[in-house]
Amino acid sequence: MSIVEAQGVHKSYGAVEVLKGVSFAIEPGQVVAIIGRSGSGKSTMLRCLNGLETINAGDITVAGHKLDHDRKRLLDLRRDVGMVFQSYNLFPHLTVGENIALAPSIVKKMAASKIDGIVDQVLTQVGLLDKKDCYPEQLSGGQQQRVAIARSLAMEPKVMLFDEVTSALDPELTAEVLRVMENLAASGMTMVLVTHEMEFARRMAHTTIFMHQGKVHEAGPSKALFAQPRTPELQQFLGAGALK
């Protein structure tokens, strides 16, 4: 049974239709990469999966939660779905440990003793336990992004969404964030990532979805899709330096 399912999703901003009937399904434990040019609708689609954007038509179900306008159901969904953005969005006045502890404390009402153990666990997972008492400004961009991933993991999500999480990082820092994501994938976490890291998508994603002009233009097993793109649009996209 699919853990993420989108059926005929439409999304418009005023007169501009950004998503034009997007459908796909993702099985538990799968890593799915969404690629495409700027303006193809890929980040909008990802934000729809977490209810950050309301859709105009279609259906979305994530981790057993059907997305609708009910606020309680939306909050329930967000307890099970973690999202990491391009910008780290860490609170500068809180330490790394405090940033991570905030959501489990407020949203899940966890006991402080349990939260402390989870903080240590997720920081170990991203290789930053020694930075627990540091403030965000004392960390590199790559370290801040790894803390943002740890913060999502602390909520024990069933699905993780990543929106261009390495696009603001230099190659060395990108590599350290991608290593964390590889380890997450190896642990069986269901992951959906919008990315411009084509080699990472080819190597790590079970499935790649190529979006073009608001639609799923081509999709399939990543290695096959990258090796033999079927449509001229994907051939051109990959041939324009996307794999460099």
Residue 152 resides in a domain: no
Residue 134 resides in a domain: no
What's the structural domain count of the chain? 1
Q: What is the pLDDT of residues 233-242, one digit of tens each?
A: 999 999 865 4
C-alpha torsion sign, points 35, 41, 43, 45: negative
Residue 149 resides in a domain: no
CATH classification of the domain holding 12 = 3.40.50.300
DSSP letter for 28, please.
T
Residue 121 resides in a domain: no
pLDDT for 133 equals 97
Residue 103 resides in a domain: no
Exposure b/e, 170-198, CB count within 10 A at least 16 = b: eeebbebbbebbeebbeeebbbbbbbebb
Q: Domain span at residue 205? A: 4-89+158-242
Q: What is the mean pLDDT of the chain?
A: 93
Residue 137 resides in a domain: no
Residue 197 resides in a domain: yes
pLDDT for 240 equals 62
Q: Distance between CA 19 and CA 57 in Å, rounded? A: 10
Of 74-78, 145-149, 206-210, the poorest mean pLDDT is in 74-78
Residue 102 resides in a domain: no
Predicted model pTM: 0.93
User: At 65, is the secondary structure helix, strand, or coil?
Assistant: strand
pLDDT for 129 equals 96
